[in-house]
Amino acid sequence: MFRNGLILLVVWAVFQAGCASPSSMPPAQVRPCRGKGTIEEAVKALAMKRANLHPLKASARCFLEWTDSEGKVRKETFDAQFRYVPPDCLFVRGDKFGEIRFGTNAEAFWMMVKPEIDTYWWGTRQAAEQCREMLQFNPWNVIEALGVVQVDANWALDWHNGFDVLTLTDPNGVLIRKIWIRACDYQVISIESADSQGRQNVRIQMDDYVPTEQGFSVPSVIEARHFSGGRADAFLRLELRGVGLFEVDPARAQRLFSRPTEENYRTVYRLSSACEFVLVGR
């Protein structure tokens, strides 16, 4: 059950069907555009998009599929609410026979699953930064699922069939992350993350971008996959609706973006400095 909970944690946190091959790539564009000429140009374009991001709200229809500890495929469908205030505050709440929540603020992240698992995970930002490999994601990068990414000149730039492909590797040339950007409109359409061996373990794909009233476009369809042993063992599809400006007032922000109480949860885990979720005594 703990393993299944962590899979849910990873999938929810990255906003990342079936058992598609992790080596798949976006289809070639019918009329491919040329991309940016240098990595510096790509960095500038993506930074401008990130700077223009406003507080957002949306609802979502969610389709979740995962393999449990007995090898049985489980499927769930539920609705969720999404609120985001740049740069650190995120609130996601779903309901499926109870509450499912994920959130972040400047100091901590948390994930709560009330139905069946009845478990609460949380950790400080410092611990999450130290434990990226174990977590397989940075909770504060969840907003990347809306096509908002942060890169620098350490990334390599390539072009393939109408896409700019940005790749980050470690000093030994092992893949860390790869981002596919549609060159014609410079929308991010795929983000891939790898484990310490360079094997893909998470892929987020975005499609059907729609403009907001503030002039910022977001994907209305987000699909996320978690891979293990070369096959997808968890899948999440989000269909966003009603994307718009989130008007924030201090009292409401305090309610949404403060870490919730651990009361009424049967099991509570905290991310330790040793990069393990340890059971919290009650």
Residues whose CB falls within 8 Å of the CB of residue 245, separated by 6 or more in sequence, listed in order: 54, 55, 56, 57, 212, 213, 214
Q: Across residues 242-247, what is the average pLDDT? A: 91
Which range, of 4-8, 106-110, 173-177, averages the lowest pLDDT? Answer: 4-8
What pLDDT is recorded for position 167? 98
C-alpha 254/C-alpha 139 separation (Å) is 19
Structural domain spans, the chain: 2-19+32-279
The structural architecture, per CATH, of the domain 2-19+32-279 is Clam (2.50)
116 - beta bridge partners?
none
Which range, of 9-18, 118-127, 145-154, 273-282, averages the lowest pLDDT? Answer: 9-18
Q: Across residues 31-51, what is the average pLDDT? A: 93
HSE at residue 211, side-chain half, CA atoms within 13 A, is 4
14-16-19-20 Cα dihedral, nearest 10 degrees: -110
Calculate the alpha carbon distances from 92 to 72, 111, 129, 189, 257 in Å: 27, 9, 21, 22, 10
Assign 42 a pLDDT band (cuts: 50, 70, 90): very high
Model's pTM, two decimal places? Answer: 0.82
**Mean of per-residue pLDDT scores for the chain:** 84
Assign 194 a pLDDT band (cuts: 50, 70, 90): confident
**Among 179, 186, 170, residue whose Cα is nearest residue 141:** 179
Give me 232's structure tokens: 């997808």
- Per the listing, tokens 């907001």 go with 212
User: Contact, 74 vs 68, CB < 8 A?
Assistant: yes
Question: Tens digits of per-residue pLDDT, 250-279?
Answer: 899 999 999 999 988 999 999 998 988 999
What pLDDT is recorded for position 19? 33
**Among 221, 224, 239, residue whose Cα is nearest residue 78:** 239
For 39-77, b/e burial (b = at least 16 CB within 10 A) is: beebbeebeebbeebebbbbebebebbbbeeeeeeeebe
**pLDDT for 7 beyond 80:** no
C-alpha 73/C-alpha 62 separation (Å) is 17
Q: Taking the CB of residue 116, how many other CB atoms lie within 10 A of it?
A: 14
**pLDDT for 1 beyond 70:** no
Let me know how long the chain is.
Answer: 282
Assign 141 a pLDDT band (cuts: 50, 70, 90): confident
C-alpha 48/C-alpha 149 separation (Å) is 10
Which range, of 6-20, 33-47, 88-102, averages the lowest pLDDT? Answer: 6-20
Q: Is the peptide bond before 22 cis (omega within 30 degrees of 0)?
A: no
What pLDDT is recorded for position 159? 95
Percent of the chain with pLDDT over 90: 46
Q: What is the DSSP string of 146-210?
A: GT-----TTSEEEEETTEEEEEEE-TT--EEEEEEEETTTTEEEEEEEE-TTS-EEEEEEEEEEE
Assign 94 a pLDDT band (cuts: 50, 70, 90): confident
Q: Taking the CB of residue 273, how many other CB atoms lie within 10 A of it?
A: 11
What pLDDT is recorded for position 83? 93
